[in-house]
Amino acid sequence: MGSRHAAPRPARNRAGGDAGYARGAARLRKYSRRICKRSRGLVCGSVGIILLVEPVRFPESERVVYRKNPLAEVICQVRFPRNLAIEAEPPSAFQKALGSAYPEVRETRAIQLPEELARTVGLDVASLPASSAFDFASKDGAWRVTLTSSYVAVTATQYIRWEEFSEHLSLALRALTESYGIAEYRRLGLRYRDVIRRSTLKLDDAPWSTLLKPVLLAEIVSEDLRIADGEVLHAARELVLRLDSEDDKVRFFHGFAQAALPESPPETCYVIDADFSREKYTERKDADEILDRFHKEAGHLFRWCITDKLHTAMDPVSP
């Protein structure tokens, strides 16, 4: 993506001094600000990653609960400085503080680099430095609390509403404070991953252009190309957007993927993955308000992505 206008180039003056260069650089900065203002601050990269210069707010929308919920996973990860006491011995006090809600426990390895990124850059995941991680799961496996020496995370695979998720998160954070005295965090993250399957919504024959906003589908809905629905083999885009606070951002990934339900063949689905985060030291008393704001923004973002037809097909009700 680019502007039709050519940006002025800063250049040194003929005498070789810096005055001409400074004036040119100032013109370039002024031009860049003008372009950013026209495009709501969007700066586009050649690899499909878009960074936002100015903060963004998604259009507000009424909060609903979908009876046909497309959410595949919701994760809240709270990071803190490395705590050696967690590494020293199994977290029995933490398990006790969680109570009967998480009776299943499993010890795993937590590598310091995300596995997807490690594989992308050609690293052997098995050879990466790792520390112990403990997964505490509910009886049905729908809820999981993961504890390592540098973070605690709550994962829901059958998410219904924020209030229920918030209760599980409060339990995990309270257990962290009671067991290890940790009440200050260096990073807060809240991630919503929706997988839209047309078959579960009885929309098998509905073109994606009737379900998703044109801004998401870009070239796929171009009248010049006239791409048929089944001709798209892959399409994805990632955006990193700064929110109202300079410390808050969202990594917004969306695109097509092949996914399958148990005992069903794979089908082409659309993934909407929004990962909200704050990388700044935050006290426990302030975390709830920040995460609640992320939750609201996630709802606005998702509703901005979809059409009224898809919204209705998911059977929305008041919470």
Q: Please give the Cα distance from 239 to 49 (Å, whole number).
A: 5
In 3D space, the residue among 174, 135, 179, 178 whose CA is nearest the CA of residue 157 turns out to be 135
Does residue 109 have a pLDDT over 90? no
Could you tell me the pTM of the whole model? 0.78
Residue spans of beta strands (DSSP E) within 21-142: 42-44, 49-52, 65-66, 71-79, 104-111, 130-137
Does residue 71 have a pLDDT over 50? yes
Q: Which residues contact 88 (CB under 8 A, 6 or more apart)?
A: none
DSSP for residue 306: B
Tens digits of residue pLDDT in 242-278: 998 889 999 999 999 988 777 788 899 999 999 999 9
Does residue 223 have a pLDDT over 50? yes
Q: Please give the Cα distance from 21 to 66 (Å, whole number).
A: 57
Q: What is the pLDDT of residue 42?
A: 41
Between 21 and 304, the more confident residue is: 304
Q: What is the arithmetic mean of pLDDT over 69-98? A: 96
DSSP for residue 81: S
Helices 284-305 & 162-180 angle (0-180, nearest 10): 150
**Pair of tokens at residue 312:** 């209705």
Does residue 37 have a pLDDT over 50? no
Q: What is the pLDDT of residue 131?
A: 76
Between 54 and 313, the more confident residue is: 313
Q: What is the pLDDT of residue 142?
A: 97
Q: What is the pLDDT of residue 29?
A: 45
